[in-house]
Amino acid sequence: MRTSVTDLFGIDYPILNAGMGRVALPEMVAAVSNAGGLGVLGAGSSPPEVTRQMIREVRALTNKPFGANAPLALPNGLENAKVCLEEQVPVINYSMGKGDWICKAAHAYGGKVMASVTDQKFALKAQEQGCDAVIAAGYEAAGHSGSVTTFTLIPRLAEVLEIPVIGAGGIATGAQVIAALALGAGGVSMGTRFWTTQEGPMHPAWKEKAVELDVSDTLYSTKFDGIPCRQMDVPGARRMMEARTFNVFDVFRHSFQIARELQIPWPRLVLDTAKRGPREIQNMMRMSQMLKAHTHTMTSGDTNQGFTAVGMSVGMVHDVPTIAELMDRIIAEAHEAQTQLARNVLG
Ligand SMILES: Cc1cc2nc3c(=O)[nH]c(=O)nc-3n(C[C@H](O)[C@H](O)[C@H](O)COP(=O)(O)O)c2cc1C
């Protein structure tokens, strides 16, 4: 399966795991890279020294190329991007910000950079800033996405960009990989399909919950963290969506927890948030709830409390394989889809 993306990153298959914060951990990243794809570490809001440690763990588990995601607008995001550069991560994936400085510094050591985008405007900007590829997350995607669907976004970006497009959102099978490639993508990135594996760090009950759900069992709202965001349709997520106001006392209490978890001094966290204005204070309140929900999915099997991001692709998740099994299956499905197409449609 040779494409622009396999050539760009020096990998065997044009398949990436999404750099999911607190979920795409070293074991998952190394498993994807060892299976011939590109494993991408989710640095998220992790404290920078934790990110550095995770990058070193990936290196201990694989000698294949790998990447790391840093969401620049989140707490610790900029610092994590700097750590990725210091550690000379082969592929840096930034989101939620401007990354020209990342491109410049990564290219100096031979690294590659990809930006996550949700529309044509951001994709063109990323290309202008020096990115080597974009990850285009369509409406179906878990977490943050725009209003354009994956299979509309891919061909449009392939039309306007000179750099490769990696399609994301709603993709979970080999036939969908072939469909994305047919539309002009050079590869795909999958989040939901990769966390529902043996290597995924969520409590097993959440993976079983994902197996039960169908393509329509997600919620899409700005009520989670202020930006349109897709989460699993479970009671905890519905409660969060329906909450009109947050209890100020709870938020105050949780702000200590956030500061501790992110290893940011509490006064700096509060000051930075306050400086950004009332909307950001609201978002911090929401973030405190999201962090709480997320910690729950890692540690507890009670799916009536807590929630997590999933894409519409959750409807195509029917089991919890190892990543090696999943990669073999996706490649076999992709070849099968090509054969079927040649026989039934083209032949
Ligand atoms: C649990 C989870 C956590 C995520 N965290 C991040 C993140 O930290 N940074 C980011 O850019 N995208 C994040 N995403 C979104 C993915 O990058 C990607 O756009 C999405 O998973 C694609 O849709 P799919 O789940 O249908 O494959 C996350 C997705 C999931 C499922």
Distance from Cα 135 to the centre of ligand 1, integer Å: 11
Question: Looking at the structure, do residues 185 and 217 belong to the same domain, yes or no?
Answer: no
pLDDT of residue 224: 87
Cβ(127) – ligand 1 distance below 6 Å: no
Question: Looking at the structure, do residues 194 and 215 belong to the same domain, yes or no?
Answer: no
Question: Looking at the structure, do residues 176 and 139 belong to the same domain, yes or no?
Answer: yes
Whether residue 339 lies inside any domain: the answer is no
Low-confidence ranges of the chain (pLDDT < 70): 244-248, 278-280, 282-283, 346-347
pLDDT of residue 106: 98
Q: Which of residues 201, 229, 245 is at a domain's end?
A: 201
pLDDT of residue 182: 97
pLDDT of residue 98: 93
Cβ(24) – ligand 1 distance below 6 Å: no
Whether residue 221 lies inside any domain: the answer is yes
Distance from Cα 28 to the centre of ligand 1, integer Å: 14
pLDDT of residue 244: 66
Whether residue 336 lies inside any domain: the answer is no
Question: Looking at the structure, do residues 187 and 44 belong to the same domain, yes or no?
Answer: yes
Question: Looking at the structure, do residues 177 and 232 belong to the same domain, yes or no?
Answer: no
Mean pLDDT of the chain, nearest integer: 93
Whether residue 186 lies inside any domain: the answer is yes
Q: Which of residues 275, 299, 323 is at a domain's end?
A: 299
- Write the residue with the smallest CA distance to atom 5 of ligand 1: 20
Question: Looking at the structure, do residues 140 and 152 belong to the same domain, yes or no?
Answer: yes
Question: Looking at the structure, do residues 141 and 163 belong to the same domain, yes or no?
Answer: yes
Count of the separate structural domains present in the chain? 2
Question: Looking at the structure, do residues 180 and 215 belong to the same domain, yes or no?
Answer: no
pLDDT of residue 247: 67
Whether residue 309 lies inside any domain: the answer is no
Question: Looking at the structure, do residues 223 and 124 belong to the same domain, yes or no?
Answer: no
**What gap in Å lies between CA 173 and CA 326, rounded to an integer?**
9
Cβ(44) – ligand 1 distance below 6 Å: yes
Question: Looking at the structure, do residues 97 and 241 belong to the same domain, yes or no?
Answer: no
Question: Looking at the structure, do residues 56 and 79 belong to the same domain, yes or no?
Answer: yes
Whether residue 347 lies inside any domain: the answer is no
Cβ(313) – ligand 1 distance below 6 Å: yes
Question: Looking at the structure, do residues 154 and 270 belong to the same domain, yes or no?
Answer: no
pLDDT of residue 347: 62
Whether residue 290 lies inside any domain: the answer is yes
Q: Which of residues 156, 178, 201 is at a domain's end?
A: 201
User: Which of 20, 46, 93, 209 best tests ligand 1's pocket when mutated (most atoms within 8 Å of CB)?
Assistant: 20
- Write the residue with the smallest CA distance to atom 15 of ligand 1: 143
* CATH number of the CATH domain containing 169: 3.20.20.70
pLDDT of residue 259: 81
Expressed as residue numbers, the domain containing 295 is 205-299
Whether residue 197 lies inside any domain: the answer is yes
Q: pLDDT by residue (tens digit) across 116-134?
A: 999 999 999 999 999 999 9
